[in-house]
Amino acid sequence: MEKVTYNTNSDDYQICSLFAQSLTEVAVVYIARHIPSNTLVAYKKYDLDKMSAEDAELVQDEVILMRQLNHSAILPLLSSFVADHKVVCILPLMGYGSAADVMLRHFPTGLPEAAIATIMKAVLQALVYLHAKGIIHRAVRGSHTLISAEGNVVLSGLRYACPVISAGKWQRKMHSYPASIMAPNVNWLSPELLKQNLEGYDERSDIYSVGITACELANGIAPYQGVSKTLMLIEKVQGILRPLMDSSTYIPRVPIEGENGADMCQDDDDYSSIIANRTFSNAFHNVTELCLETQDHLRPVAKDLLTHAFFKNAAPPAALPRLLYPAMPILQDNLPDNQEDLESMMVCEKLYSLAIDPVSWDF
């Protein structure tokens, strides 16, 4: 196959459809057609003018870091350029979106175990590479694992990563805790990272996040949803796990007298019965427990974890589309039809740039 070069001319990309909006709403992802090669790409647009200088620097760091990484399980950056006051990153189109998207749309009670094995395996492979290069990812989570139409899984979200090599030395322990970086991912982070004490954290912190992500994808709920930050921290530090929910961990809810009946809605019952009737394999339970070990020095590193029986039997990426059915990837012929949203978005942008200018001087 001929290698396509993605140039930095914004006229070469035709925006077709709206794809996703990032968590913090600084970035919008469109599906665009690269006209010279007639291929679909993801067109991620950061509006720098709405960002503070520090946030803009994060975008810069992310772009520079992505350019220096080359691994099959890490989202590659095809091109990046400035158009008006926006920075555009051209990325390969990941047909299924993120694992968290697929889960929210099609698997409200969690992805099948086989799919999670394949996803986790790819994430760990990406982490082996990153850790060997001296980079801690710090934001492993369901929404940062993207799945292509062919079933390949890649890790994204490198905006939050930090290099271990600084001052010409390989730092054994990291201590940096930039609040703005951590805030959106706090529920996925490891206890030693959150504790912010002198002991610091190292690359094993990412393994803990892998464990949390596994629970997220298996249970169908974002971790610590609706739990206060303080309680979340206490639970993590004390090693109280929120385990994979299946028949082995399911505790039938005893109706308490005086409890408001409205709480026990139908959905809740459905969810409970699904949990009570499914059983995850022992290997899966074991692997998440290893990942969620509270003491970081007892937690395995990514390389060792990959030898675990759970990943030996993981299905190859090509099997992922079958496992994710009924979720369908976005391809050439089924672009999501959201022209109205797209148009309203474009109009908003136009209005913004038309803003009437109250001052006027002319020299």
Partner 1 sequence: MAKGKAGQSWLKGVRVCSIHPLSQECDSEKMPLFGKSQKSPAEVVKALKEAVNALERGDKKIEKAQDDVSKNLVLIKNMLYGTSDSEPQTDIIVAQLAQELYNSNLLLLLIQNLNRIDFEGKKDVAQVFNNILRRQIGTRSPTVEYICTKPEILFTLMNGYEHQEIALNCGTMLRECARYEALAKIMLHSDDFFNFFRYVEVSTFDIASDAFSTFKELLTRHKMLCAEFLELNYDKVFSHYQRLLNSENYVTRRQSLKLLGELLLDRHNFTVMTRYISNPDNLKLMMNMLKEKSRNIQFEAFHVFKVFESRQACGFPH
**Angle CA(196)–CA(202)–CA(205) in degrees, nearest 5?**
80
**Looking at residue 68, what DSSP letter applies?**
T
Of 179 and 363, which CB lies nearer to partner 1 in the complex structure? 363
Name the 3-class secondary structure at 22: coil
Q: Does 72 bind partner 1 (CB under 8 A)?
A: no
Segment contacting partner 1 by CB under 8 A, of 64-72, 104-112, 148-156, 327-335: 64-72
| Footprint of partner 1 on 288-327 (CB under 8 A) | 301
Q: Does 361 bind partner 1 (CB under 8 A)?
A: yes
Count of chain residues binding partner 1 (CB under 8 A): 40
Q: Does 363 bind partner 1 (CB under 8 A)?
A: yes
Q: Answer yes or no: are the C-beta atoms of 144 and 138 closer than 8 Å.
A: no
Q: Does 148 bind partner 1 (CB under 8 A)?
A: no
Q: How far is the CB of 352 from partner 1 (least distance, A)?
A: 8
Name the 3-class secondary structure at 162: strand
**Looking at residue 142, what DSSP letter applies?**
G
Cβ neighbours around 201 below 10 Å, total: 25
Of 325 and 352, which CB lies nearer to partner 1 in the complex structure? 352
Site string for partner 1, 165-184 (x = CB under 8 A): x-xxxx--------------
CA distances from 9 to 28, 49, 68, 156, 293 (A): 19, 20, 22, 24, 48
Q: How far is the CB of 220 from partner 1 (least distance, A)?
A: 35
Q: Does 70 bind partner 1 (CB under 8 A)?
A: yes
Q: Does 241 bind partner 1 (CB under 8 A)?
A: no
CA distances from 335 to 13, 26, 40, 214, 357 (A): 16, 23, 10, 29, 38
Residue from the set 14, 24, 85, 269 that interacts with partner 1 by CB under 8 A: 85
Q: Answer yes or no: are the C-beta atoms of 241 and 289 closer than 8 Å.
A: yes
Q: Does 357 bind partner 1 (CB under 8 A)?
A: yes
Q: Does 137 bind partner 1 (CB under 8 A)?
A: no
Length of the chain: 363
Residue-wise DSSP of 247-263? TTT--PPPPPTT--GGG
Residues that bind partner 1 (CB under 8 A): 8-9, 48-49, 53, 60, 63-64, 67-68, 70, 77, 79-82, 84-89, 131-134, 165, 167-170, 203, 301, 353, 355, 357, 359-361, 363
